[in-house]
C-alpha cells in the first residue's frame, strides 16, 4: 500500500466518523517552547488548554513534523528520522478512551476492501499506563485482546507530554509483532524492534508544569475537559504494509537513495558505511525541503542552524560517497516529486526552495575548503610533535567554526593515520549543549501564567475587536489585574492590565505595533501604553491609572491615539507595497521573513538566497511603489474562505496559522495578502515611501528599512539641505558632488600616506643616536631608554630592530618604551650573540613588565607588550639592566 493511499484511508476513516479534516499546520508555529512542530496535536494546543473554544468537536489531520534531538543517530539506525508525518484524530471534550480505542482498532484491523489497513489482529499488542485499569478493560471489551497481549508500563513509556509545560496525559500504544526473525518474544517490554509501535492514543486530561509526570511528578492542574490526541506514524505503517525492512525503503524515501546511487555509482546495501550515508541523505533531504518550504533559511542559530546542519550533512555524506559535484538541488527535486501529491506547495514554491539549497551548498563548499586547510594544519602540528591523536579542541573548532561534523573529521584523520581525541571533543560538545539548554530554559515560556487570562476568557468570552471601523468605543471592564493577579479595584498610580468586552485597540501582532490611548469613565482614567493578546481571543490593555480608582464592571470609553494609529497604518500598508515590489524584482524566492510597522517607519525582512539587492533594483522598487501611491488605489479589506483566497493568489506568510475564514488586504493587481492588521483606505494616504537601507541580517535573509509619510518627507528635506550646504561649501553643482568628494578623499589619503612616511623616517633617524647611547653591562651592549611618546607597536618594533642592527655582531639588548597617556608600549630585541649568552627577548619581559603594570611576550629575538603605569618606566629600565647582569 503506497504512502499516499495510507494517508487517504486514514483521513476518510475519520471523516466518516464525524471528524473535520484539518490541513497540516506549518512546521513553524508561534510557540516559544518549540523550534519545530513535533507532534500532530501542536496546532490544536489552544483547544486542549481551553484558551479558545474548539471550532469542531472532532478533528483529524496529517501533520508534518520534525524532531531534531537524534540528528546524529540518523543513518546509523533505521529507526531515527528527523522528518515524519503524524496522522492523528482528536476529540475536544467529545469522546474519550472508548471512542479512541474503537476508532483505532477498526482502522488498523479493518479489511482492505472496507478501507482498513488489514493488519492481523492476532499480531497486535498494546501497552497502557501502569494503573489504567479502565483502558485494559476497554481493550478487552472492544478489541477482544487477551490479557497476555496487554502490558502495563510506567510514566517514562506510557505518559505523554510535549517535554515542556502544557497538556498531557496517560496513553495507550499499539504495537505490531513483526515476527520471531526480528527479535525475541515477550511483547514490547521485551523487544521494541520486533514489536514495533505504530500508534499512540493519548488520553489528554492533565496540565503539566516544569516537572513532567513522566518522571513521577504530579500534574499542576486538570484540563478544562477530557480530550483525545492520537498519533500514528505514517512512515512506520508504510514500511510494514509495503513489506520492506525500514522507512528508508518505502515508496517516498527510496527514490532519494536511488538518486544518490545514480550520482555516486555505489549501491545501497553493499556496505554498512555507505548505507549510513545513503540514509542520512534520504532523511535530511526530506527534512530540509519541508523546512525551507515553511520559510526557514540557513543561519547560525535556532531553526536556521538546524537546517544548515541538515543540508551540510547531506553534502558531506555525498562527498564520502565519492560525489564531488553539487547535489542538493537534485535531491530536492526528488523530494518535490514524491511529496507533492500531499504537499502541492512544494511545486509552486520550488524556485525559492532550490535557490536556498543551492546558495547554502555553494557556501558550504567554500567553507569546506577553508576548514580543510585548518585540518591539514592541525594534522601537520600533530605529526611534527610525534603524536598520533588529533586534539579534541581542534576537532571541536572544526565542528563549531567550520561546520565539520565529527565523523568527517574522524574519516579525514584516519586517512592520515591519526585518531581523534573524542573524549575531549565530546566534553566540549556537552559544555556547548549545556549552555544552549540553559539559554533555552531561561527563555522558555510556560502556560501557568496564562491561567488568569483563561479564567477571564471562560467567564466573559472573547474581546470583540472594533478597531477596523471605530477609533473610539464604549466597553466594560471585565478583567482587572495588578502584578498578574485579578483585583476588584486599582487606585491612582497602579500599573494595571485591563480586559474589556469590546475595544477599538489593536493588540500587537503580525509586526504591527499596538495602539496606545486612554480608557475613561466618570471617576477614573487609565493611560494605555500597550495592548497584547496573551490568550487567543483576549486583548489585554496595559497601562497606568492616572486618576481615580479603576474598578471591575465599570463602563468606559476606549479611545485610541488617532495620530499614532494613522501613522502605523500607513507604515503597515507600505510594508505590503514593499513586499510586492521586492518580490516583483527578485522573484518568488523573496518571501517575507519578518516585519515591523511603527509610527512613520517600517522594516521588512525577506529571504534572498542570491544575495544583496543591487542599488539599481532597490531604486526601481522605490520608484514603482511610489507610483502606486500616486495612483491612489483603493485598499480593500474583506473576509473570504481560504480556498477562495488561494484562488485569488493572496500571499500567505510562512509560519502563520490561518483558519477557514481569512482576511484579505487587496490593492488590486499589485498587492494581495492575508493580513489582520490595520491599513489606510487608499494608497495615496501614505504620501511617500523613502527606502533608507538594504542589508544582510543573516545567511540568505535581507532587511529593507524605510520611512513613510511626513517622516519620509522630513528625511528627504534634511538630505536636500545637507546636499545644498555641501554644494555651496565645495562650489559645485549637486550632481557633481560625488566626483568632487572622491577627489578630496583621495588627496587626503595621499597626504596621510606622505605624513606616515615622513614620521617613520623621523623615527628611524633617531636609531643611530640611540645606538650611540649603548652602555656596556658585563660585556653586553644595552640600549634601554624611553623613546618618543605616542609611538605605536609597529613604529616601536621597527625602531628597536634598526637599533639592534647598528650594534653589530656583539652581544646586545635593545629595550624601548613609549608612553601615550595612561598607556605604555615596550619592545625588546636581542642580537644573535646575546641569545647565545642566554639572553632571550621573551624571557626578559617578565623581569621588568610588572613595574609598568603590564605584561607581554614573544620570540627569543623580538618580544613586545604593554602596561598601564607610565610612571614606572624608569624602574622598568633599571629592572631590565639587573636582568641582563644576572
Note the pLDDT tens digit of each residue in 134-167.
Answer: 999 999 999 999 999 999 999 999 999 877 788 8
Question: pLDDT > 70: what percent of the chain?
Answer: 95
Greater confidence (802 vs 458) lies with 802
Residues 314, 411, 428, CA angle at the centre, nearest 5°? 85
User: What residues have CB less than 8 Å from 469, skipping those under 6 apart?
Assistant: none
The second-level CATH assignment, the architecture, of 448-560 is Beta Barrel (2.40)
| Contact between 457 and 538 (Cβ < 8 Å) | yes
pLDDT in the model for residue 443: 38
pLDDT in the model for residue 32: 66
C-alpha cell at 247: 522507512
| Contact between 250 and 277 (Cβ < 8 Å) | no
User: What residues have CB less than 8 Å from 220, skipping those under 6 apart?
Assistant: 165, 207, 208, 209, 448
576 carries a ligand binding annotation: yes
| CB-CB neighbours of 835 under 10 Å | 15
Residues 508, 513, 514, CA angle at the centre, nearest 5°? 55
Give which of 656, 663, 613, 615 is closest to 642, Cα–Cα: 663
| Contact between 564 and 514 (Cβ < 8 Å) | no
| CB-CB neighbours of 383 under 10 Å | 14
Distances (CA, A) of 54 to 42, 49, 453, 848: 14, 10, 17, 77
Summary mean pLDDT of the chain:
89
> 104-113, 291-300, 520-529, 760-769 — which is least confidently predicted?
760-769
| Contact between 602 and 570 (Cβ < 8 Å) | no
- H/E run at residue 58: strand 58-66
Chain centre to alpha carbon of residue 507: 25
- Whole-number Å distance between alpha carbons of 685 and 670: 17
pLDDT in the model for residue 328: 96
Q: Is the pLDDT of residue 570 over 50?
A: yes
C-alpha cell at 169: 496525559
* Residue 247 φ/ψ, nearest 5 degrees: -65, -25
| Contact between 39 and 31 (Cβ < 8 Å) | no
- Whole-number Å distance between alpha carbons of 601 and 503: 25
- The per-residue pLDDT for range 701-736, each reduced to its tens digit, is 889 999 999 999 999 999 899 999 999 998 889 888
C-alpha cell at 183: 527479535
**Model-level pTM?**
0.65
Which residues face 830 on adjacent strands?
Answer: 813
pLDDT in the model for residue 445: 35
C-alpha cell at 452: 488568569
Domain 3-247 falls in which CATH fold? BirA Bifunctional Protein; domain 2 (3.30.930)
HSE of 393, CA atoms in CB hemisphere, 13 A: 2
- Whole-number Å distance between alpha carbons of 96 and 79: 30
- Whole-number Å distance between alpha carbons of 336 and 344: 9
Full DSSP string of 606-652: EE-TT-PPPHHHHHHHHHHHHHHHHHT-B-EEEEEEHHHHHHHT-B-
Q: How confident is the model at residue 243 (pLDDT cuts 50, 70, 90)?
A: very high
Quick one: 501 exposed, middle or buried, by C-beta within 10 A (0-12, 13-18, 19+)? Answer: middle
State the helix-helix crossing angle for 709-730 and 562-586, rounded to 10 degrees. Answer: 70
The beta strands (E) that lie in 588-746 are given as 592-598, 601-607, 636-641, 661-666, 672-674, 689-698, 701-708
Question: pLDDT > 90: what percent of the chain?
Answer: 60
Mean pLDDT of all residues in 435-443: 51
| Contact between 721 and 742 (Cβ < 8 Å) | no
The beta strands (E) that lie in 261-391 are given as 389-390
Full DSSP string of 20-44: EE-PPPPS--S-TT-SS--STTGGG
Domain 770-885 falls in which CATH fold? Diaminopimelate Epimerase; Chain A, domain 1 (3.10.310)
The beta strands (E) that lie in 723-861 are given as 775-777, 780-786, 812-820, 823-830, 855-858
- Whole-number Å distance between alpha carbons of 223 and 501: 25
- Whole-number Å distance between alpha carbons of 96 and 100: 6
Cell 509501535 appears where?
197
State the helix-helix crossing angle for 562-586 and 615-631, rounded to 10 degrees. Answer: 130
171 carries a ligand binding annotation: no
- The per-residue pLDDT for range 375-432, each reduced to its tens digit, is 888 899 898 888 899 999 988 888 877 667 676 788 788 878 899 999 999 898 888 7
User: What residues have CB less than 8 Å from 851, skipping those under 6 apart?
Assistant: 869, 872, 873, 875, 876, 879
C-alpha cell at 743: 577627489
Q: Report the CATH number of the 565-714 domain.
A: 3.30.980.10
Quick one: 41 exposed, middle or buried, by C-beta within 10 A (0-12, 13-18, 19+)? Answer: buried
| Contact between 175 and 197 (Cβ < 8 Å) | yes
Residues 424, 317, 278, CA angle at the centre, nearest 5°? 120
- Whole-number Å distance between alpha carbons of 122 and 109: 10
Mean pLDDT of all residues in 255-266: 96
Q: How confident is the model at residue 560 (pLDDT cuts 50, 70, 90)?
A: very high
What sections of 385-421 are H helices per DSSP? 392-402, 406-415
pLDDT in the model for residue 444: 37
pLDDT in the model for residue 434: 73
β-strand 472-482 against 495-500: which pairing, if any?
Answer: antiparallel
Q: Is the pLDDT of residue 209 over 60?
A: yes
Quick one: 53 exposed, middle or buried, by C-beta within 10 A (0-12, 13-18, 19+)? Answer: middle
* 3-state DSSP assignment of residue 489: strand
> 278-282, 346-350, 568-572 — which is least confidently predicted?
346-350
Amino acid at each position: 500500500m503506497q504512502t499516499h493511499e495510507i494517508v487517504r484511508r486514514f483521513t476518510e476513516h475519520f471523516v466518516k466518523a464525524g471528524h473535520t479534516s484539518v490541513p497540516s499546520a506549518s512546521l513553524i508555529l508561534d510557540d516559544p517552547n518549540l523550534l519545530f512542530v513535533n507532534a500532530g496535536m501542536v496546532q490544536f494546543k489552544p483547544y486542549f488548554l481551553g484558551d479558545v473554544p474548539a471550532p469542531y468537536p472532532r478533528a483529524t489531520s496529517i501533520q508534518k513534523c520534525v524532531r531534531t534531538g537524534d540528528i546524529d543517530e540518523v543513518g546509523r539506525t533505521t529507526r531515527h528520522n528527523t522528518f515524519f508525518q503524524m496522522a492523528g484524530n482528536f476529540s475536544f471534550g467529545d469522546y474519550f478512551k472508548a471512542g479512541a480505542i474503537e476508532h483505532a482498532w477498526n482502522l488498523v484491523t479493518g479489511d482492505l476492501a472496507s478501507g482498513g489497513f488489514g493488519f492481523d489482529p492476532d499480531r497486535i499488542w498494546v501497552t497502557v499506563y501502569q494503573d489504567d485499569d479502565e483502558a485494559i478493560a476497554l481493550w478487552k471489551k472492544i478489541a477482544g485482546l487477551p490479557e497476555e497481549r496487554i502490558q502495563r508500563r510506567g510514566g517514562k513509556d506510557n505518559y505523554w507530554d510535549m517535554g515542556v509545560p502544557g497538556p498531557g496525559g496517560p496513553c495507550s500504544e499499539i504495537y505490531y509483532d513483526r515476527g520471531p526473525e526480528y527479535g525475541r518474544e515477550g511483547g514490547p517490554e521485551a523487544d521494541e524492534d520486533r514489536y514495533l509501535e505504530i500508534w499512540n492514543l493519548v488520553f489528554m486530561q492533565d496540565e503539566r508544569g516544569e516537572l513532567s509526570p513522566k518522571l513521577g511528578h504530579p500534574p499542576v492542574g486538570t484540563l478544562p475537559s477530557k480530550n483525545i490526541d492520537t498519533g500514528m506514524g505514517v512512515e512506520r505503517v508504510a514500511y510494514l504494509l509495503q513489506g520492506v525492512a525500514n522507512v528508508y525503503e518505502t515508496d517516498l524515501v527510496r527514490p532519494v537513495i536511488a538518486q544518490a546511487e545514480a550520482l555516486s555509482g555505489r549501491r545501497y546495501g553493499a556496505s554498512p558505511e555507505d548505507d549510513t550515508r545513503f540514509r542520512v541523505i534520504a532523511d535530511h533531504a526530506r527534512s530540509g525541503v519541508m523546512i525551507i518550504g515553511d520559510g526557514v533559511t540557513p543561519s547560525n542559530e535556532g531553526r536556521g542552524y538546524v537546517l544548515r546542519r541538515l543540508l551540510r550533512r547531506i553534502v558531506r555524506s555525498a562527498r564520502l560517497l565519492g560525489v564531488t559535484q553539487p547535489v542538493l538541488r537534485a535531491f530536492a527535486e526528488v523530494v518535490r516529486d514524491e511529496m507533492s501529491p500531499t504537499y502541492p506547495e512544494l511545486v509552486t514554491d520550488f524556485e525559492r526552495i532550490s535557490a536556498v539549497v543551492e546558495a547554502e551548498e555553494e557556501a558550504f563548499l567554500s567553507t569546506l575548503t577553508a576548514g580543510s586547510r585548518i585540518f591539514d594544519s592541525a594534522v601537520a602540528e600533530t605529526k611534527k610533535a610525534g603524536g598520533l591523536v588529533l586534539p579534541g579542541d581542534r576537532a571541536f573548532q572544526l565542528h563549531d567554526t567550520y561546520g565539520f561534523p565529527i565523523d568527517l573529521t574522524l574519516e579525514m584523520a584516519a586517512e592520515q593515520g591519526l585518531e581523534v581525541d573524542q573524549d575531549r571533543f565530546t566534553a566540549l560538545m556537552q559544555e556547548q549543549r549545556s549552555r544552549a539548554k540553559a539559554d533555552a530554559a531561561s527563555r522558555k515560556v510556560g502556560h501557568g501564567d496564562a491561567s488568569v487570562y483563561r479564567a477571564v476568557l471562560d467567564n466573559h468570552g472573547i474581546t470583540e475587536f472594533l478597531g477596523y471601523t471605530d477609533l473610539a468605543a464604549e466597553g466594560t471592564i471585565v478583567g482587572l489585574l495588578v502584578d498578574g493577579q485579578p483585583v476588584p479595584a486599582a487606585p491612582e498610580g497602579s500599573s494595571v492590565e485591563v480586559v474589556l468586552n469590546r475595544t477599538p485597540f489593536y493588540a500587537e501582532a503580525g509586526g504591527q505595533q499596538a495602539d496606545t490611548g486612554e480608557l475613561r469613565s466618570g471617576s477614573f482614567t487609565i493611560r494605555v501604553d500597550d495592548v497584547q493578546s496573551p490568550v487567543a481571543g483576549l486583548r489585554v490593555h496595559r497601562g497606568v491609572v492616572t486618576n481615580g480608582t479603576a474598578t471591575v464592571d465599570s463602563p468606559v470609553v476606549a479611545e485610541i491615539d488617532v495620530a499614532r494609529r494613522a501613522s502605523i497604518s500607513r507604515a503597515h500598508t507600505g510594508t505590503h507595497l514593499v513586499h510586492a515590489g521586492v518580490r516583483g524584482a527578485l522573484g518568488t524566492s523573496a518571501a517575507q521573513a519578518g516585519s515591523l510597522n511603527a509610527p512613520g517607519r517600517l522594516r521588512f525582512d525577506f529571504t534572498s538566497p542570491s544575495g544583496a539587492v543591487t542599488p539599481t533594483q532597490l531604486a526601481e522598487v522605490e520608484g514603482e511603489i511610489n507610483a502606486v501611491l500616486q495612483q491612489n488605489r483603493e485598499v480593500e479589506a474583506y473576509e473570504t474562505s481560504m480556498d477562495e483566497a488561494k484562488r485569488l493568489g493572496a500571499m500567505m506568510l510562512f509560519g502563520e496559522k490561518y483558519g477557514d475564514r481569512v482576511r484579505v488586504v487587496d490593492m488590486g493587481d499589485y498587492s494581495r495578502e492575508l493580513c489582520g492588521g490595520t491599513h489606510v483606505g487608499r494608497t495615496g494616504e501614505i504620501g511617500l515611501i523613502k527606502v533608507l537601507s538594504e542589508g544582510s541580517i543573516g545567511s540568505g535573509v535581507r532587511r529593507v528599512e524605510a520611512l513613510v509619510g511626513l517622516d519620509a518627507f522630513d528625511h528627504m528635506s534634511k538630505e536636500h539641505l545637507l546636499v545644498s550646504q555641501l554644494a555651496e561649501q565645495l562650489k559645485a553643482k549637486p550632481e557633481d558632488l560625488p566626483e568632487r568628494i572622491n577627489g578630496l578623499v583621495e588627496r587626503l589619503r595621499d597626504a596621510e600616506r606622505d605624513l606616515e612616511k615622513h614620521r617613520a623616517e623621523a623615527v628611524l633617524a633617531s636609531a643611530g643616536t640611540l645606538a650611540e647611547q649603548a652602555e656596556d653591562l658585563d660585556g653586553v651592549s644595552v640600549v634601554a631608554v624611553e623613546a618618543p611618546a605616542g609611538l605605536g607597536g609597529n613604529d616601536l618594533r621597527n625602531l628597536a630592530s634598526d637599533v639592534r642592527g647598528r650594534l653589530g655582531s656583539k652581544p646586545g639588548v635593545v629595550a624601548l618604551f613609549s608612553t601615550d597617556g595612561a598607556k605604555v608600549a615596550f619592545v625588546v630585541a636581542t642580537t644573535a650573540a646575546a641569545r647565545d649568552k642566554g639572553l632571550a627577548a621573551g624571557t626578559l619581559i617578565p623581569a621588568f613588565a610588572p613595574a609598568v603594570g603590564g605584561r607581554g611576550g614573544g620570540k627569543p629575538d623580538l618580544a613586545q607588550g604593554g602596561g598601564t603605569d607610565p610612571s614606572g618606566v624608569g624602574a622598568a629600565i633599571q629592572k631590565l639592566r639587573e636582568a641582563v647582569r644576572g
